[in-house]
DNA sequence: GGTAAGATTGTCT
DNA sequence: GACAATCTTACCG
């Protein structure tokens, strides 16, 4: 199969009763996908410039995919991101979406088949929890999970 | 109908 | 290390 992708190395969790979550105040036009079927994508625009990719778990809960380790289609990613260092291709929500070509068209799209899919696997290194990044509420919740020692994190653990 | 805030990134000093 | 870029949604009047 020809495509682009890699191993997820950094995620963050957001739930319905989490003040930092978009779903905290209930369903709206923007976060509709977050209340949709599990296993679907929730894509939203951040700071008017970047896209952020989430995977819906259950109604109102989702996992933000912050970074992946590029494995497939690295050339395509590098071209989209204008020849950036491979290590930075997907190190961050905005970068990841740009490299994978994710935009609002992917909002609400199922990711258990074509064109997107996520497979379960065993982490190659310990997964460590730490405070989430870039938020102003519920900062003390350690709901950021990243692969220890990975060189592809948006920020070191 | 107007204003403020936001789960970010790239660039300049 | 600090700040600007850029736009959609949410909240208030």
Over residues A69-123, the pLDDT tens digits come to: 999 999 999 999 986 789 999 999 999 999 999 999 999 999 988 789 999 988 9
Nucleotide nearest to A22 (CA to C1'): B7
SS3 (DSSP) at A94: helix
Distance CA A60, CA A57 (A): 8
Protein-proximal nucleotides of chain C (any atom < 7 Å from a CB): 5-11
Of 3.10.300.10, 3.40.50.300, 3.20.20.220, 3.30.10.20, the CATH number of A5-147 is 3.10.300.10
List the structure tokens of A83.
């020849």
Q: What is the pLDDT of residue A157?
A: 82
Name residue A51's beta-bridge partners: A45
Strand partners, A58: A61
A70 with A89: CB under 8 angstroms?
yes
Query: Closest by alpha carbon to A64, among A33, A87, A86?
Result: A33
Could you give the angle at the alpha carbon of A113 between the alpha carbons of A112 and A115, nearest 5°? 120
Tell me what pLDDT residue A36 has: 92
Residue A134 near residue A143, CB atoms below 8 Å: no
- Chain-centroid distance of CA A104 in Å reads 14
> Cβ of residue A84 near strand B, that is under 7 Å?
yes
Check if residue A132 sits with its Cβ under 7 angstroms from strand B.
Answer: yes
Model pLDDT for residues A26-56, shown as the tens digit of each residue = 899 899 999 999 999 999 999 999 999 999 9
> C-alpha angle A157/A46/A64, rounded to 5°?
45
């Amino acid at each position: 199969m020809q495509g682009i992708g890699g191993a997820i190395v950094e995620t963050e969790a957001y739930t319905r009763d989490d003040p930092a979550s978009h779903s905290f105040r209930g369903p709206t036009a923007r976060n509709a996908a977050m209340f949709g079927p599990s296993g679907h994508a929730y894509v939203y625009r951040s700071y008017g410039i970047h896209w952020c990719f989430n995977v819906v778990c259950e109604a109102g809960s989702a996992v933000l995919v912050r970074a992946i380790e590029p494995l497939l289609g690295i050339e395509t990613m590098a071209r989209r991101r204008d020849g950036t260092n491979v290590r930075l291709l997907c190190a961050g929500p905005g970068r990841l979406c740009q490299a994978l070509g994710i935009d609002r068209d992917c909002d609400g799209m199922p990711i258990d088949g074509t064109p997107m899919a996520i497979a379960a696997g065993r982490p190659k290194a310990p997964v460590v929890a730490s405070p989430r990044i870039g938020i102003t509420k519920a900062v003390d919740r350690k709901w950021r999970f990243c692969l220890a020692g990975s060189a592809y994190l948006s920020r070191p653990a």
